[in-house]
Amino acid sequence: MKRKTFIAGLALIATFPFVSCSKSESDGKLTIAFLPKSKGNQYFVTCERGARAAATELNAELKFDGPTNPDPAKQNEIVENWITDGVNVIVAACENKDSISTALKKAQAAGIKVITYDADSQPDARSFFVNQATAQAIGEQLMDTAASLTGSEGEFAIITGSLTSSNMNEWIKHIKERQAKYPNMKLVDIKPCDDQKDKAQQEATNLLSAYPNLKAIIAASSLAVPGAAEAVKQAGKTGAVKVLGLGLPSENRTYVKEGVTQAVILWKVEDLGYLAVMAGAAVAKGELAPGATEFTAGKLGKMPVAGDNIVLGKPFVFTKENIDQFDF
């Protein structure tokens, strides 16, 4: 009789599948995985600082990993590892929106909440996109600033991070659209620098040689701004060729104060990382869902939600007059 009872018990257990729980699920603590385009880029190091501040406030565990240099395949590999680890949330800046979307959809199918920030995936591969500012606002600000610096005439070139970068390509699209407002300005070339300062410097040097009448260089990558500035400085064209772009004040302060770079345009980068993690946690807790018009993001207070987009704010222009007020 005892043998029959034991066997029956085993049969009953066998009818229920074993469910593995991550440590975070068992102790109620969220595990949030934070993916940059490249972990050595100071821009994403600053984003990480904000992400860690948010995780501390949330009493969540933060995992931070990414490629050394922008690499869509490496990003996919890291996401696959996080799926295996059973993290609760993935917050990703996507180097290539098409490439990473398959991996992110797999994460969603595994019950992991997905948020993108800085650069988006395909919309069905995440719940919300945390945008630093709208692509249109960024592109228009870059073009308007270039026009202001050049008297709205002359040749200009763009140095971008990567020709496959979805967010940078969106910015460039809006630069081109805004250019119609300035018929006496001509875009002569677009060059990638692979988010490397030395390569940006070399590309800028080549542009200065190829286009002797060049009036401005717009840098759409944070490391392209100091790279372009160094090329202009070494060519003895400080002031003659205007340098502007998206970058960190800390990486461009010297060039701005020397007058080599005229304008650095950005947003509060640390707040971007902070907001992205807060959004991921809110989705995981059921506090942020489709149809929401706002949610509370810790120290940032109530943040507006437009559809599936959460926008940090408008771009800010750093100049010689104000750059010393900022330490990031």
pLDDT at 327: 76
Q: How distant is the alpha carbon of residue 116 from its chain centre? A: 8
pLDDT at 13 over 60: no
pLDDT given at position 268: 87
The pLDDT of residue 4 is above 80 = no
CB 24 within 8 A of CB 88: yes
Asked whether the predicted pLDDT for residue 16 surpasses 50, the reply is no
Average pLDDT value for residue range 162-182:
95
Q: Using a pLDDT cut of 70, give the percent of the chain over it.
A: 92
Phi then psi dihedrals of residue 128, to 5 deg? -145, 155
pLDDT on residue 198: 97
pLDDT exceeds cutoff 90 at 251 = yes
How many CB atoms sit inside 10 A of residue 111's CB?
A: 10
pTM: 0.79
- pLDDT mean over 273-281: 98
- pLDDT band of residue 8 (cuts 50, 70, 90) is very low
Condensed to tens digits (0 to 9), the pLDDT of residues 82-137 reads 999 999 999 999 999 999 999 999 999 999 999 999 999 999 999 999 998 889 99
Across all residues in the chain, what is the average pLDDT? 91
Q: In the chain, what are the domains?
A: 23-132+269-313 (3.40.50.2300), 135-266 (3.40.50.2300)
Residue 21 has pLDDT above 50, yes or no: no
Q: Is it the case that residue 22 has pLDDT exceeding 50?
A: no
Return the bridge partners of 14, or none: none
CA distances from 14 to 17, 20, 231 (A): 7, 15, 69
187-230 confidence digits (pLDDT tens): 999 999 999 999 999 999 999 999 999 999 999 999 999 999 99
DSSP tally for the chain: helices H, then strands E? 11, 14
Q: Are strands 31-35 and 89-92 parallel, antiparallel or unpaired?
A: parallel
